[in-house]
Amino acid sequence: MTSIRAIAPGEYYHIFNRGAHKQGVFKDKRDWQRFLFGVLYLQSSISFKNISRITKDFSTEDGFPVRDGDIENILKQRSVELVAFCLMSNHFHLLVREVEEGGISQYMQRVSEGYTKYFNTKYLASGHVFQGRYKSVHVKDDEQLLYLSAYIHRNPREIPQWKGKEAEYPWSSLQDFVSANRWGGLIMPDIIVGQFDTTWNSNYADFVKTSPAKLLESEIAEDSRI
C-alpha cells in the first residue's frame, strides 16, 4: 500500500485501485451495482444477507431497497466515512475519512473480498480481480481535499459519451454534490461543498468543470498507472 503517512483516525485518504492486468472489473450493470453497494453499505461491520437480491432490485430513482433501520445502524457504527466516489470500468476512486483505527483497512477488505467472491462465482473465474492491495494517499489539507474531489469527479470525462455530462454519470457521487443526494448520510459531501459558502466565488459544479484537479506528485505517479 502506497501512503504518505500511516492511516490515522480523523484523517482523509484517497483510496484507489484497478483491475488485475488492467482488465475490466465491471462487465454488466449488475456488477456495477454490486460494487457500489459495498462502497456505500459496508462502512460499518454490519452484515447483509441476500446482497444479490438487494442489488438486483436497485433503481436509479430509489437506490437499493435497504431498510431505514439498517442505514441508521450503519451511521451509528461506521468505522469510515465515505465522502466521494467514482467507479470506472477498470478502476475506482474513493475519498474516505477514517473514523476508527483500522477502519479503512477493514472497509476495503470487505468491499474488495466481497466483490471478488461475487465476480469469480459469477464468471467461473479464480484469483485476484484487483491489482493487489488498494493504494492510499493521505490528504494533507482542505485545499487538497477540494481538488482531489474534483479530480475524482472528472474521471468520466475519459468516456466520450460522458464528457461534459459528468454530473449525470450514475456511478459517481458528483450528482449527489450538485443536485439531490441519493444516499443521505452514507456519503458526507459537506466537507467539500461547505467550502463554497465561505471561500469560493463559484459553485461546486463550476469548480469541477474548470478545476485543474491538482494532486500531490507522488499521488499522480501512482494514479497514472491506472
Query: Which run of H or of E encompasses 192?
Result: helix 190-193
**CB atoms inside a 10 Å sphere around CB 147:** 18
For residues 35 and 111, what is the distance between their CA atoms, to the nearest angstrom?
7
CB 192 within 8 A of CB 145: yes
pLDDT in tens, the chain (226 residues): 344 346 788 899 999 999 998 889 999 999 999 999 999 999 999 999 889 889 988 887 778 999 999 999 999 999 999 999 999 999 999 999 999 999 999 999 999 999 999 999 999 998 899 998 999 999 999 989 999 999 999 999 989 999 888 999 999 999 999 888 899 999 999 999 888 865 655 689 888 988 876 555 445 445 545 5
Look up the CATH superfamily of 12-223.
Transposase IS200-like (3.30.70.1290)
For residues 56 and 63, what is the distance between their CA atoms, to the nearest angstrom?
11
Q: Where are the domains of the chain?
A: 12-223
CB 55 within 8 A of CB 64: yes
pTM: 0.90
Query: Which run of H or of E encompasses 104?
Result: helix 103-122
For residues 66 and 144, what is the distance between their CA atoms, to the nearest angstrom?
34
